[in-house]
Amino acid sequence: QKEVEQDPGPLSVPEGAIVSLNCTYSNSAFQYFMWYRQYSRKGPELLMYTYSSGNKEDGRFTAQVDKSSKYISLFIRDSQPSDSATYLCAIPRTGGGADGLTFGKGTHLIIQP
Amino acid sequence: KAGVTQTPRYLIKTRGQQVTLSCSPISGHRSVSWYQQTPGQGLQFLFEYFSETQRNKGNFPGRFSGRQFSNSRSEMNVSTLELGDSALYLCASKGLETQYFGPGTRLLVL
């Protein structure tokens, strides 16, 4: 079983929809979770990070962690065409702080105008 | 604050050659990590340097190496290039809680 699993998509939704992006992880010791956004031919850009279970909100973005299910989610409200990108979940390899990261394969999101 | 810079941005090499890529982290950041990104394998951790010492290493062959200088700038080297080394090589500069990526160097091996 891979350490971090993520559906590669593509996921295509109409503008204004709520988007749900998800990852599962295998190691219950993981404590720290991140979401990156990557536009075509660019480096990944940090969107959000969270330590704990529950929700963390930043503007139109909400990160959710369910440690009992080993499941992390990123929700995007009022989606815009500019949100079209690949979204990657990432977890520190040794479970703490900002260590070398293990990434999901990324979900390719397309927001249709 | 200036972001992470990587040079060159694009590179074409042939099998058997070697290549050196450069990364300048965000000012004040002392840790630099390198990643390889391919369509098949996604983003994979290569190694991390902190204060000129390699602190972590991913599961890559010894052809992949790196170093860090006293000003925190880092280089990675790939020797005896193979076709499968074609990838986007990303450098990340580590802050207090997370990592910030550069634009990457796109390497094509022919």
Tens-place pLDDT, residues A73-87: 999 999 999 999 999
| Pick from A46, A102, A104: CB nearest B45 | A102
| B107 — pLDDT class (breaks 50, 70, 90) | very high
Query: How far B59 CA sits from the closest chain A CA (Å)?
Result: 12
Quick check: A98 and B96 CB within 8 A?
yes
| Pick from A36, A100, A104: CB nearest B33 | A100
Nearest alpha carbon to residue A11 among A60, A81, A19: A19
Which of residues B97 and B85 earns the better pLDDT score? Answer: B85
Contacts of B97 in chain A (CB under 8 A): 49, 97-98
Q: How far, in Å, CA of B36 to CA of A65, rounded? A: 27
Quick check: A103 and B97 CB within 8 A?
no
| Side chain identity at residue A80, one-letter code | Q
Which residues of chain B from 60 to 89 reach within 8 Å of chain A, CB to CB?
Answer: none
Which of A46, A51, A52 to mutate to probe the B interface, most B CBs <10 Å? A46
| Side chain identity at residue A5, one-letter code | E
| Side chain identity at residue B82, one-letter code | E
Res. B27: pLDDT tops 60 = yes
How many helices (H) and strands (E) chain B has is answered by 0, 11
Mean pLDDT of A66-73: 91
Contacts of A36 in chain B (CB under 8 A): 101
Quick check: A34 and B43 CB within 8 A?
no
Strands A4-6 and A19-25: antiparallel
CA A76 from centroid of its chain's CA atoms: 10
Using alpha carbons, list the distances in angstroms from residue A106 to A91, A99, B20: 13, 19, 27
Nearest alpha carbon to residue A32 among A60, A13, A4: A4
| Pick from A42, A43, A98: CB nearest B98 | A98
| A97 — pLDDT class (breaks 50, 70, 90) | very low
Which of A36, A103, A107 to mutate to probe the B interface, most B CBs <10 Å? A103
Q: How far, in Å, CA of A84 to CA of B60, rounded? A: 32
How many helices (H) and strands (E) chain A has is answered by 0, 11
Res. B86: pLDDT tops 50 = yes
Res. A95: pLDDT tops 70 = no
Give the number of other CB atoms < 10 A from CB of residue A87. 25
